[in-house]
Chain A
Amino acid sequence: MNPLNLWEITPGLATVVLGTALLGLATGALGSLAVLRRNSLMGDALSHAAYPGLLAGFLLSGTKSVAMMVLGASIFAALAQWLTGLLIRSTRVRPDAALALVMGCFFGFGMILQSHLQQNPSAAQAGLKDYLFGQAGLLLEEDIALLAALALLVLVALVMGWSRWKIITFDRAHAVSLGINVFFWDVLYNFLFILSVVIGLQVAGVVLMSALLIMPGCAARYWTKRMSTMVTLAGASGAILGVGGTFASDQLSWPPGPTIVLLGFAWLIISFFVRDIRKKRNQYSGNSAKISDALHLGGVGAN
């Protein structure tokens, strides 16, 4: 490997770097909400469920039309989400089982659709299988526009409704009691979530999509005691992981999606260990804080 080549950025590579950064920003920020809401698995379920929709979009349009495929995938993901909710509400199936059931059924349908499409030569050439494992290397400039629009939409929604996201995530019942329209914010959250998954499929693939959503949030939780910092940090680290992972994949000739995910995992491990050291240090100062509480409150802190 010639070290001089390290900084030689071809236009193709620049596109991929920009694309993965934008996707990392959107999924990192939005995914940290999913982590706090304890529906991290929703990302995995939705990406699997979106796959047959993607293929249906191809089947209907006859070409690899991004708009049709995103539309098809969105419809299937929304259907899967609605079905999961229905199962939880009206049967004895528990939420985790409902997610697994819906994910399996939809993905199974996707595999059948795929084997049917493989016999069609134009489909085989379109590289539909790439959506299973992601193919960030194939990102084009028009994909960048889509990813930029997604990132902008997520950021605007988060900033505009910040007090709403915060209160609904911490205490939904309290939000309802204040007269906040929780239904609207849930619909918006689901809409953004589905859109991120569907648009991210091309980069990360069905299998790795949820890691992209969850890992920045999980890591960010270790570094802060404020939700605003956590979401900001998750978005920023998602973008940095996208950039770093893409460069690393280019150097190592590894596929970009998995490289980003492995880098993210390394970041999570680092966060865990650094925080662990911090926690041990804080336990020491925490004890003295408890003693000062006790002095102020006459032992109120003890419970």
Chain B
Amino acid sequence: MSTPAIEIEDLTVAYGERPALWDIDLKVPTGVMMGLIGPNGAGKSTLIKTVMGLIKPAAGTVRIFGKPLSETGSRVAYVPQRSSVDWDFPATVMDVALMGCFGRLGWLGRPKSIDRQTAREALARVGISNLATRPVHQLSGGQQQRVFLARALVQKAELYLLDEPFQGVDAATESLILDLLRTIRSEGGTVVVVHHDLQTVADRFDQAALLKVKLLASGPVDEVMTPELLQKAYGSSGAGLVTSRDGHP
């Protein structure tokens, strides 16, 4: 069996006294599209931030493609929540997309014409080529999310971690993001998405991990999204959330 894209062992993260994640063991195989599911405060964002090295764990290890994060370079692309940055920043859409290549640049490095070409292609893939010179503070929510995705594409990563990419975007952007992530997977990439809409999990992902501080389950979607497990995560309302998709409350 090939090396998993992410391998998490005995991971515990705490904010002060309160544990945010407790003793997580999780393997994400390469080439899958996994939804990270769980109620508010379950630690979904915390988990991917810890994988990205943004939060220091109290205990446990994270390996990416079998190596510690410090040795993976730009093989991992992180797409934070749109609201995590101040969009009133003096930069154009092109400027932000180009930031995806900054990991490859040295101190004195400037983006080269090939990087610009890559960025133009990325903007085209997310359908905003015509906005390249637009200042980012003029963008709508959906356009902001597309810029973030373009920036991640410029990075040419193998593993993509996205924090709530479908949050507050228009329908056209939603389907574009989904198509894009499926293309990435079909090209051999691995995609992990923090997701809170239970009803769309089965349609969008082939794997799921159900989190509530502890990891309740992980694996193929139909094995994770069972009424018993969802009830464990969300309480009594949880089981109904999924079945209501078919119109049976």
A177 close to B99 (CB less than 8 A): no
- Bound form: Cα–Cα A27–B135 in Å: 26
B99 close to A300 (CB less than 8 A): no
B138 close to A286 (CB less than 8 A): yes
Interface: A176 (CB within 8 A): yes
Which of B99, B110, B172 is in CB contact (< 8 Å) with A174?
B99
B155 close to A178 (CB less than 8 A): yes
User: How would you classify the secondary structure of chain A's contact residues: helix, strand, loop or mixed?
Assistant: helix
Q: Which of A5-13, A133-141, A225-233, A241-249 contacts B (4 or more CB under 8 A)?
A: A225-233
> Which residues on the B side are within 8 Å of A169 (C-beta)?
89
* Chain A residue nearest to B133 in the complex (CB): A225
A301 close to B99 (CB less than 8 A): no
A178 close to B173 (CB less than 8 A): no
Interface: B244 (CB within 8 A): no
- Bound form: Cα–Cα A161–B110 in Å: 10
Residue of A163, A175, A299 most packed against chain B (CB within 10 A) = A163
> Which residues on the B side are within 8 Å of A221 (C-beta)?
90
B95 close to A226 (CB less than 8 A): yes
Q: Which of A64-72, A254-262, A290-298 contacts B (4 or more CB under 8 A)?
A: A290-298
A213 vs chain B, min Cβ distance (A):
17
B86 close to A178 (CB less than 8 A): no
B70 close to A170 (CB less than 8 A): no
A302 close to B91 (CB less than 8 A): no
B52 close to A303 (CB less than 8 A): no
If A167-B102, A301-B143, A302-B140 touch, whether A225 touches B84 (CB-CB below 8 Å) is no
B92 close to A225 (CB less than 8 A): yes
- Bound form: Cα–Cα A225–B136 in Å: 8
If A225-B90, A230-B90 touch, whether A179 touches B140 (CB-CB below 8 Å) is no
B145 vs chain A, min Cβ distance (A):
9
* Chain A residue nearest to B75 in the complex (CB): A179
A179 close to B99 (CB less than 8 A): no
Interface: A252 (CB within 8 A): no
**How many B residues touch the partner, as a band?**
35 or more
> Which residues on the B side are within 8 Å of A274 (C-beta)?
none
Interface residues of B in 156-173 (CB under 8 A from A): 168-170, 172-173
- Bound form: Cα–Cα A66–B168 in Å: 56
- Bound form: Cα–Cα A177–B155 in Å: 11
- Bound form: Cα–Cα A180–B103 in Å: 7
B95 close to A227 (CB less than 8 A): yes
* Chain B residue nearest to A292 in the complex (CB): B130
- Bound form: Cα–Cα A166–B100 in Å: 12
- Bound form: Cα–Cα A167–B103 in Å: 10
Interface: B120 (CB within 8 A): no
> Which residues on the A side are within 8 Å of B77 (C-beta)?
177
A224 vs chain B, min Cβ distance (A):
6
If A180-B103, A221-B90 touch, whether A170 touches B85 (CB-CB below 8 Å) is yes
> Which residues on the A side are within 8 Å of B92 (C-beta)?
225-226
B130 vs chain A, min Cβ distance (A):
5
- Bound form: Cα–Cα A162–B110 in Å: 8
- Bound form: Cα–Cα A174–B96 in Å: 11
> Which residues on the B side are within 8 Å of A176 (C-beta)?
52-54
> Which residues on the A side are within 8 Å of B95 (C-beta)?
166, 226-227
Interface residues of A in 63-86 (CB under 8 A from B): none
A171 close to B170 (CB less than 8 A): no
* Chain B residue nearest to A177 in the complex (CB): B78
> Which residues on the A side are within 8 Å of B108 (C-beta)?
160
* Chain B residue nearest to A303 in the complex (CB): B140
Interface residues of B in 70-119 (CB under 8 A from A): 70, 72-74, 76-78, 80, 84-86, 89-92, 95-96, 99, 102-103, 105, 107-111
Interface: B4 (CB within 8 A): no
- Bound form: Cα–Cα A94–B74 in Å: 35
A295 vs chain B, min Cβ distance (A):
10
Which of A167, A298, A299 is in CB contact (< 8 Å) with B99?
A167
* Chain A residue nearest to B144 in the complex (CB): A303
Which of B102, B127, B135 is in CB contact (< 8 Å) with A163?
B102
Interface residues of B in 135-190 (CB under 8 A from A): 135, 138, 140-143, 151, 155, 168-170, 172-173
Measured CB to CB, the residues of A under 8 A from B are 36, 38, 160-164, 166-167, 169-171, 173-180, 221, 224-227, 229-230, 286, 289, 292-293, 296-303
- 7 smallest CB-CB distances across A and B, nearest first, come from A178-B103, A303-B140, A177-B78, A225-B135, A300-B172, A303-B142, A303-B141
Q: Can you report 7 residue pairs joining A to B where beta carbons are below 8 Å apart?
A: A171-B80, A173-B54, A174-B80, A176-B54, A179-B72, A180-B103, A301-B143
| 6 extra interface residue pairs, beta carbon distance < 8 Å, beyond A170-B96, A179-B103 | A38-B86, A160-B108, A171-B99, A174-B151, A224-B90, A296-B130
